[in-house]
Structure 1
Amino acid sequence: MGLPSIDISFQTAAQATIAMGDKGYVGVIVRDTAQAGAHYLPRVGKIPAELTEDNRAYLTRTFLGYINPPKAVYLYVTDAEDTNLAKALAYFETQEVDYLVGPPDLSEDEAEAMVMWLKEVRAAHSHIKLVLPGTVADYDPVIDFDADGMTDGETVFTTAEYCSRMAGLFAGTPWTMSATYAPLPELTDITRLDKETADAAIDAGKLILIHDGRQVKIGRAVNSLTTTTLDHGAIFQKIKALEVIDRVDADFRATIEDTFIGKVANTYDNRMLLVTAGRNYFHTLETAGLLIEGSSTLDIDTEAVRDYLGEAADEMSDDELRHADTGSQVFLVGKFTIADAIEDVTIRITV
């Protein structure tokens, strides 16, 4: 039944994740009277010339990226009749983009509608993240971009007009890097914040821009999450961390669905083939520097098996639980630690 393909598929997924880690896909919504509907833009030269100048500029900023440009942009052109961007969001419900932004004239009501939509699609295992202007969400897949006075020396941009730039920048950030202190060389100035105000904004889950006296750059690459728990800790506030978590989840789901579910018998040997393949996947990510070396584990979840079997499992040993008949159910448990990027440095110098 093709069991060896499970390990091959996991390794292929791991290599693809590492290879595509320096690029990503961005979804952009604009309002226009021309070119209605969906478009795939593999490069900036494919932006429809019929769009307004402002919309073309908005899309062009997306392609600026960071270390690399985005792999591609999925564009949806809608109009003023599209209440709360319902048509546009229905399209992106069937697309797997990394970051999604609304139109450059996004309203507060539309931003709130996008957050509600995002919670629904992520509950259905989407991995989309939103970049929204000044939107307090306390939700890690939402980036609350909050900056003012951005200018290239000629034009002053609003926060909403620069969301596409942020989405493209994150899509172009390699997995092994953080976008903290990523420069925006096209900007000559912003509304400058003192350190106390900047720190307070970051603590409030806002993505801000700072000017260090030489250049404009991102402050700290955080999302809007501010309420952390023991199970959902501070690491989830990092944009980089959520990207890795999303990619691991996507790789596991796709590989298991494509090469395992419905295709093999639920025996101990087959379960262990899946476990071994998953461990090899984690090891590949550790070697690539995405995960901390030696931090990842994956095995049969004997406690979950015990709960599933009920009273019949009261006298069973762990080894018996591992071999037990669990019908169509497979219970696994694992963990890993994401390799964070260097963001804080303390140096003690004695003279």
Structure 2
Amino acid sequence: MGLPSIDITFKTAAYAAINMSDKGYLGLIVRDTKAAGKHRLTRAAQIPETLSADNKAYIQRAFTGYVNPPKAVYVFVTGADDTNLAEALAYFATQEVDYLCGPPDMTEAETTALLQWVKDRRSEHSHVKCVLPNNTANYDPAINFVATGMTDGEVTYTTAEYCSRIAGILAGTPWTMSATYAPLPELTDVDRMDTETADAAIDAGKLILIHDGRQVKIGRAVNSLTTVLPDHGETFKKIKILEVIDRVDADFRATIEDTFIGKYANSYDNRMLLITAGRVYLQQLEAAGILQQGASVLDIDVDAVRSYLDTHGTNTDDMDDDALRHADTGSNVFLTGTFKVLDAIEDVTIKITV
């Protein structure tokens, strides 16, 4: 009968990814003398009334979102004198949030600590990302927000105070869109820069705000990555691209761990059923316009199988690809795949002849 549970789970995961409202879990840390501890908020009305006005406003800005509001905002209220965020970060190590922001008065040392925490978590296959004020991390899961002079006509916000708003925008951006040119209608002005300066800032991995003469909006939705490698190129500078890559990775890991590992014999037929279910998942994302049509591949990694067999005493000199695909690899399953995330339209060139 095959592996129906894997097939169903992959289809469910694909549906959840395509469902544009099912994304955007935020984590915020605030310092306060009241409402200490953890809070899971699904709407702004749930913000604890006992928090200071500044902290309530910080959380409220996160809920503004973009096309959608965040699915939920996890808030950890740490002590007013806490300067290392250890308790808050220990809590968020038990949660899976898409973006994490420190307190609106976070120090440079706390920013560095939060960044290192994100690196440590992602090394353990977490998919958390962070929005940091004025921190050139050169790391794609870190967004380096650098705008200044943000005013709504009455109040001027610091860079750190506005990080929650940026995180809310990123969380509320559908998979098929980017946050490039996302408007901030509540702002009446921002410190302005000329085009050359703005381009240089973006190239330096900075998320900036611009005023186009009509409104304030995000420049290009980039993260802090500036150093690219052959296997980690320019495309990883885009916030949208990394979000989709994270989602696909999370869905594959969760589905395989929950419905496959330890539950079925490592036979060729079972491996192929897993591959078929995974291909269906990728094809559904292609159909939804999240991945490029026809670019997704998933199959047995015959090179990895050959290497495994060679190091475990099996002579593979006379084995062709079909023999390698059927080979006994113990408890190991070696797969290889590719997919291409569709970028959003951000650069348009029009030639008009009159």
Q: TM-score, normalised by structure 2?
A: 0.98
Q: Which of 330, 349, 352 in structure 2 is aligned with 1:349?
A: 352
The residue aligned with 1:255 is 255
Aligned-partner Cα distance in 1 for 2:298–2:130 = 31
| Residue identity opposite 1:89 in structure 2 | L
SS of residue in 1 equivalent to 2:121:
helix
CA RMSD after TM alignment: 1.1
Residue 337 (1) aligns with residue 340 (2): yes
The residue aligned with 1:90 is 90
Aligned-partner Cα distance in 2 for 1:255–1:322 = 22
C-alpha spacing 1:326/1:127, structure 2 compared with 1 (3 Å): same
Deviation, structure 1 residue 5: 1.1
The alignment of Structure 1 onto Structure 2 pairs a total of residues equal to 351
SS of residue in 1 equivalent to 2:64:
coil
Deviation, structure 1 residue 84: 1.9
Contact 2:2–2:273 (8 Å) recurs in 1:
no
Aligned-partner Cα distance in 2 for 1:172–1:329 = 38
The residue aligned with 2:318 is 315
Aligned-partner Cα distance in 2 for 1:121–1:68 = 27
The residue aligned with 2:39 is 39
Aligned-partner Cα distance in 2 for 1:278–1:6 = 9
Where in structure 2 are there 5+ consecutive unaligned residues? none
The residue aligned with 2:199 is 199
Identity within the alignment, %: 71
Aligned-partner Cα distance in 2 for 1:230–1:59 = 39
Instruction: Write out the 4+ residue segments of structure 1 that deviate beyond 4 Å after TM superposition.
Output: none
Deviation, structure 1 residue 82: 3.1
Aligned-partner Cα distance in 2 for 1:251–1:329 = 20
Residue 292 (1) aligns with residue 295 (2): no
The residue aligned with 2:140 is 140
C-alpha spacing 1:261/1:22, structure 2 compared with 1 (3 Å): closer
Contact 1:26–1:98 (8 Å) recurs in 2:
yes
SS of residue in 2 equivalent to 1:240:
helix
| Residue identity opposite 2:351 in structure 1 | R
Aligned-partner Cα distance in 2 for 1:186–1:272 = 53
| Residue identity opposite 2:341 in structure 1 | I
Spell out, residue by residue over 1:6-43, the C-alpha distance to the aligned partner (whole angstroms, 9 max, x if none): 11110010001111456411100000000111001010
Contact 1:23–1:69 (8 Å) recurs in 2:
no
Contact 1:25–1:74 (8 Å) recurs in 2:
yes
**Greater alpha carbon shift after TM alignment, 43-52 vs 78-87:** 78-87
Aligned-partner Cα distance in 1 for 2:212–2:317 = 63
Contact 2:151–2:190 (8 Å) recurs in 1:
yes
| Residue identity opposite 1:140 in structure 2 | D
Deviation, structure 1 residue 313: 1.6
Aligned-partner Cα distance in 2 for 1:156–1:88 = 27
SS of residue in 1 equivalent to 2:289:
coil
Contact 2:133–2:146 (8 Å) recurs in 1:
yes
**Greater alpha carbon shift after TM alignment, 21-30 vs 178-187:** 21-30
Contact 2:21–2:68 (8 Å) recurs in 1:
no
Q: How does 1:46-125 map to 2 (within 5 A)?
A: 46-125=46-125
**Greater alpha carbon shift after TM alignment, 133-142 vs 78-87:** 78-87
Spell out, residue by residue over 1:64-118, the C-alpha distance to the aligned partner (whole angstroms, 9 max, x if none): 0000111110000002443421110111011011111000001000000011111
The residue aligned with 1:161 is 161
Aligned-partner Cα distance in 2 for 1:288–1:207 = 28
C-alpha spacing 1:86/1:283, structure 2 compared with 1 (3 Å): same
The residue aligned with 1:126 is 126
| Residue identity opposite 2:47 in structure 1 | I
Where in structure 1 are there 5+ consecutive unaligned residues? none
Aligned-partner Cα distance in 2 for 1:184–1:303 = 50
| Residue identity opposite 1:324 in structure 2 | A
SS of residue in 2 equivalent to 1:26:
strand
SS of residue in 2 equivalent to 1:217:
strand
The residue aligned with 1:238 is 238
